[in-house]
């Protein structure tokens, strides 16, 4: 069935939403006297027509997205999206590799080879061919950090599972694989590798491709820009094979979902390339649960670090006092199966030891004390506990990457204070079963009553700004009463936005987009006007004096609804993706959402309030309108906006739609209680540069899950 044309939608909108109500209400003197009492019916008709136009517009856009115009232009846009995505991913992970010092002085030489665990498909399935000369095929892969991309590209099916013990270097190898594949793509073409953390995937409720598409849109929102990249660019990139998902941390989703996740991965279309990392024991247990293996995937496993590789990692780059390690290395060679050698065979523990004992005054020979370190767990616990104090005591942060704005005001945090703040974050993240620290979700940490108070405060501030606009036409007391009443009633139903906003200030080439947003915005605005009109009618029915009569109040509410609708349309038009794909970062997303918040206050609140105030004065509701009218209009309009937000799914106005607003008040409450610093983002950025945190897109994670778990466990032990 063919969807409605844009001309049909616009015609319905113009005739019934603008012409009918404006000509019958504003120019009411030109209609017969006996019809005038019934002119208010034009506004419910306008609301219904706006809803119909919005539904028809949504159907038209769905039809256009589901059936994009064939031809070279659509394919060229998709190639452009893939190229920009590749460049952005390269900048993103090159900066992260530089911050993690993966290339200086040299990466720890970690080897990998085909696993001997019973978790692999047959060699014929992996290689995509049968026996040669009657001899069975044998698949044996081996390599190091330098050639993992080259070996992956030799696999016919391009499907790889990378296993390893906790701290074996799976994430580091995934980063280096991503950069290697991007280098190959720049020379030979091919799909774009995109590294994503699997911790937020639920295979029971979301298909893998749907989850990858959602993550692409969240991390790179410019892909939603239809005018630049075409309709459903993220979806087409995934389903058409232009993206290689590099999925890190299968073990980080709940253990009861591991088997379901492997089954879901195995159900992806044949020939779909992908890379998965997982802890060895967890992957083997999931496969053993029902015998499902990932078809056509090669499975390799990281090997422990040897003493020779560990010694080279310690001394390369001129570490001061490298001879201090001589007795430790001698002990490790003499007892390769001892607790110290076993602990330092992990790349994570080797890296922590290098940081902890880098200062000349630190003596690694203390690790030889068998009374303190009688087993591997004791050695690893000591290194995890000593890492954060050492990072904040001895090592100033390295220079930031070239595309990141330097922080000139970084300061030395007291180690005990930094450890307390990080422990608080680790504990709350464990309670919410997440490995990702997203600044726009900080309100999750605060109690429910505080969250409700935050919503009311943000809407009250929004109402105050709108009230200043109303005050121009209706007087200060009336304007502020209406604004604060509306803010309070909307705040009772306020919900925190799910993701940061963005703003696109470009005007050229975006006029048609404004027309589409105008249809949707006026539908919302007229709904708000209808809510205020209903409140007036109810108040009049109860005998409340409206000051200037019911009919002018109804007209004023209609004009106010139109003004709010136009303001919403302008805001939705501005709140569209950028024209270029940018590297996601926490700092950039916070700055952008703060800009959105400022624009939203001016466009949605102050401007809409100003137009509503002028309309009130036009219909005789000036400074003498009375506080009853203001209170009725504010409560009715605010409640209508709150209900619309609930029904539309996190639709809010003003600062309540600002993740920056929710973050700022949540941070202030937590800082007042001593849980976190006042300048939280600066602290997180500093921790990232010190290597305590890592950055995956716009979210932070602890350097390793074991570090987060250690902090949370110690806090729980002290509490008990």
Beta carbons of 554 and 43 less than 8 angstroms apart: yes
Question: Where do we find the tokens 């279309």?
Answer: 269
Q: In this structure, are strands 192-197 and 693-696 parallel, antiparallel, or unpaired?
A: unpaired
Separation between Cα atoms, residue 232 and residue 198, nearest integer Å: 23
Question: What average pLDDT does range 559-578 have in this prediction?
Answer: 60
User: What pLDDT is attached to residue 379?
Assistant: 96
Averaged pLDDT of the chain: 78
Q: In this structure, are strands 142-144 and 274-279 parallel, antiparallel, or unpaired?
A: unpaired
- Other C-beta atoms closer than 10 Å to the C-beta of 235 total 18
Check whether the bond before 105 is cis (ω within 30° of 0): yes
Question: What average pLDDT does range 504-516 have in this prediction?
Answer: 56
Between residues 368 and 53, which one has the greater pLDDT?
A: 368
Beta carbons of 526 and 641 less than 8 angstroms apart: no
3-state helix, strand, coil in the chain (%, to 5): 65, 5, 30
The whole-model pTM stands at 0.78
Query: pLDDT at residue 511 above 60?
Result: no
Query: pLDDT at residue 19 above 50?
Result: no
Q: In this structure, are strands 298-302 and 693-696 parallel, antiparallel, or unpaired?
A: unpaired
Between residues 165 and 137, which one has the greater pLDDT?
A: 165
Question: What average pLDDT does range 485-513 have in this prediction?
Answer: 70
CA angle 200, 205, 208 (to 5 degrees): 65
Question: What average pLDDT does range 186-214 have in this prediction?
Answer: 93
Query: pLDDT at residue 513 above 70?
Result: no
Query: pLDDT at residue 687 above 80?
Result: yes
Question: At a CB cut-off of 8 Å and minimum separation 6, what does 348 contact?
Answer: 166, 167, 168, 169, 704, 706
Beta carbons of 569 and 520 less than 8 angstroms apart: yes
Question: At a CB cut-off of 8 Å and minimum separation 6, what does 492 contact?
Answer: 452, 455, 456, 642
pLDDT tens per residue, range 240-251: 999 999 999 999
Measure CA 245 to chain center. 17
Question: What average pLDDT does range 559-580 have in this prediction?
Answer: 61
Compute the radius of gyration of the chain from its Cα atoms.
Answer: 31
Give the pLDDT band of residue 615 (cuts 50, 70, 90).
low
Between residues 671 and 56, which one has the greater pLDDT?
A: 671
The fraction of the chain above a pLDDT of 90, given in percent, is: 37
Give the pLDDT band of residue 292 (cuts 50, 70, 90).
confident
Query: pLDDT at residue 219 above 80?
Result: yes
In which element (H, E) is residue 147 found?
Answer: none
- Candidates 183, 207, 179, 210; CA nearest to 195 is 179
Q: What are the beta bridge partners of residue 159?
A: 274
Query: pLDDT at residue 502 above 80?
Result: no
Beta carbons of 364 and 314 less than 8 angstroms apart: no
Can you list the positions of beta strands (E) in 234-313? 243-248, 274-279, 298-302
Check residue 145 and report its DSSP letter: S
Separation between Cα atoms, residue 715 and residue 401, nearest integer Å: 34
pLDDT tens per residue, range 585-611: 888 889 888 888 887 787 777 766 776
pLDDT tens per residue, range 28-86: 554 556 655 655 566 566 666 656 666 665 665 565 555 444 445 678 889 999 999 99
Query: pLDDT at residue 15 above 50?
Result: no
Question: What average pLDDT does range 429-436 have in this prediction?
Answer: 91
Beta carbons of 313 and 109 less than 8 angstroms apart: yes
Separation between Cα atoms, residue 638 and residue 644, nearest integer Å: 10
Give the pLDDT band of residue 536 (cuts 50, 70, 90).
low
Question: What average pLDDT does range 680-709 have in this prediction?
Answer: 92
User: What pLDDT is attached to residue 129?
Assistant: 54
Q: 3-class SS at 29?
A: helix
User: What pLDDT is attached to residue 171?
Assistant: 92
Sheet order of strands, 274-279 included: 142-144, 111-114, 298-302, 159-164, 274-279, 243-248, 192-197
First to last CA, the chain: 65
Query: pLDDT at residue 524 above 70?
Result: no
User: What pLDDT is attached to residue 124?
Assistant: 59
Give the pLDDT band of residue 107 (cuts 50, 70, 90).
low
Give the pLDDT band of residue 501 (cuts 50, 70, 90).
confident
User: What pLDDT is attached to residue 53?
Assistant: 60
Give the pLDDT band of residue 346 (cuts 50, 70, 90).
very high
Which of 29-43, 136-150, 692-706 has the highest mean predicted lDDT (pLDDT)? 692-706
Separation between Cα atoms, residue 571 and residue 521, nearest integer Å: 9
Separation between Cα atoms, residue 337 and residue 341, nearest integer Å: 6
Of the candidate ranges 4-8, 285-289, 502-506, the one whose mean pLDDT is the lowest? 4-8
Separation between Cα atoms, residue 179 and residue 192, nearest integer Å: 10
Which of 310-324, 458-472, 491-505, 506-520 has the highest mean predicted lDDT (pLDDT)? 458-472
Separation between Cα atoms, residue 64 and residue 232, nearest integer Å: 10
User: What pLDDT is attached to residue 73?
Assistant: 65
Beta carbons of 85 and 192 less than 8 angstroms apart: yes
Q: 3-class SS at 435?
A: coil
């Amino acid at each position: 069935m063919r969807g409605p044309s844009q001309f049909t939608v616009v015609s319905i909108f113009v005739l019934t939403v603008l012409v009918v109500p404006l000509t019958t209400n504003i120019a009411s003197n030109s209609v017969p006297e006996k019809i005038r009492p019934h002119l208010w019916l034009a506004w419910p008709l306008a609301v219904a027509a706006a809803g119909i136009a919005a539904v028809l517009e949504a159907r038209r856009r769905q039809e256009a997205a589901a059936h994009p115009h064939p031809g070279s232009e659509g394919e060229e846009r998709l190639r452009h999206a893939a190229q920009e995505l590749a460049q952005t991913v390269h900048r993103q992970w090159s900066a992260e590799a530089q911050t993690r010092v993966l290339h200086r002085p040299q990466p720890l030489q970690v080897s990998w080879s085909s696993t001997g665990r019973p978790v692999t498909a047959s060699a014929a399935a992996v290689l995509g061919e049968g026996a040669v000369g009657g001899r069975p095929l044998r698949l044996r892969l081996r390599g190091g950090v330098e050639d993992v991309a080259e070996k992956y590209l030799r696999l016919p099916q391009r499907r790889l599972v990378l296993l390893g013990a906790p701290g074996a270097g799976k994430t580091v190898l995934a980063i280096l694989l991503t950069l290697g594949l991007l280098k190959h793509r720049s020379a030979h073409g091919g799909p774009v590798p995109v590294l994503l953390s699997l911790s937020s995937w639920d295979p029971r409720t979301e298909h893998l491709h749907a989850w990858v598409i959602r993550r692409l849109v969240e991390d790179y929102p410019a892909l939603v820009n239809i005018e630049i990249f075409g309709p459903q660019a993220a979806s087409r990139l995934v389903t058409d094979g232009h993206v290689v998902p590099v999925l890190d941390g299968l073990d980080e989703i709940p253990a009861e979902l591991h088997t379901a996740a492997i089954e879901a991965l195995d159900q992806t279309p044949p020939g779909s390339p992908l890379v998965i990392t997982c802890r060895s024991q967890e992957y083997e247990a999931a496969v053993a649960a029902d015998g499902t293996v990932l078809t056509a995937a090669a499975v390799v496993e990281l090997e422990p670090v040897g003493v020779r590789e560990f010694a080279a990692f310690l001394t390369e780059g001129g570490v001061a006092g490298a001879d201090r390690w001589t007795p430790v290395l001698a002990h490790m060679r003499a007892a390769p199966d001892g607790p110290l050698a076993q602990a330092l065979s992990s790349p994570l523990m080797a890296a922590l030891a290098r940081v902890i004992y880098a200062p000349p005054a630190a003596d690694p020979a203390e690790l030889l004390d068998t009374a303190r370190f009688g087993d591997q767990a004791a050695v690893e616990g000591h290194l995890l506990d000593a890492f954060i104090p050492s990072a904040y005591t001895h090592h100033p942060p390295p220079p930031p990457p070239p595309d990141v704005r330097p922080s000139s005001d970084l300061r030395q945090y007291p180690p005990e204070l930094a450890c307390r703040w990080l422990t608080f974050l680790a504990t709350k993240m464990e309670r919410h079963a997440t490995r990702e620290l997203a600044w726009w979700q900080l309100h999750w940490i605060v109690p429910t009553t505080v969250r409700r108070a935050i919503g009311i405060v943000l809407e009250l501030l929004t109402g105050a700004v709108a009230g200043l606009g109303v005050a121009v036409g209706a007087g200060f007391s009336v304007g502020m009463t209406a604004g604060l009443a509306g803010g309070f009633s909307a705040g009772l139903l306020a919900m925190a936005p799910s993701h940061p906003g963005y703003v696109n200030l470009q005007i050229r080439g975006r006029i048609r987009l404004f027309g589409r947003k105008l249809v949707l915005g006026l539908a919302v605005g007229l709904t708000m006007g209808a809510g205020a009109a209903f409140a007036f009618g109810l108040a009049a029915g109860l005998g409340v004096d409206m000051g200037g009569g019911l009919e002018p109040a109804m007209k004023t509410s209609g004009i106010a609804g139109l003004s709010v609708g136009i303001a919403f349309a302008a805001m939705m038009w501005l709140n569209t993706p950028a024209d270029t794909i940018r590297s996601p970062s926490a700092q950039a997303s916070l700055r952008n959402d703060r800009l959105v918040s400022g624009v939203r206050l001016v466009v949605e609140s102050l401007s809409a309030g100003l137009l509503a105030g002028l309309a009130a004065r036009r219909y005789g509701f000036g400074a003498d309108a009375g506080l009853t009218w203001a209170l009725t209009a504010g409560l009715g309009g605010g409640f209508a906006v709150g209900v619309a937000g609930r029904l539309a799914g996190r639709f809010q106005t003003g600062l309540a739609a600002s993740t920056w607003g929710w973050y700022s008040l949540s941070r202030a409450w937590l800082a007042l209680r001593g849980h976190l610093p006042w300048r939280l983002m600066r602290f997180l950025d500093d921790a990232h540069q010190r290597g305590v945190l890592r950055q995956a897109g716009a979210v932070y994670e602890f350097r390793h899950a074991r570090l987060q778990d250690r902090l949370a466990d110690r806090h729980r032990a002290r509490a008990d």
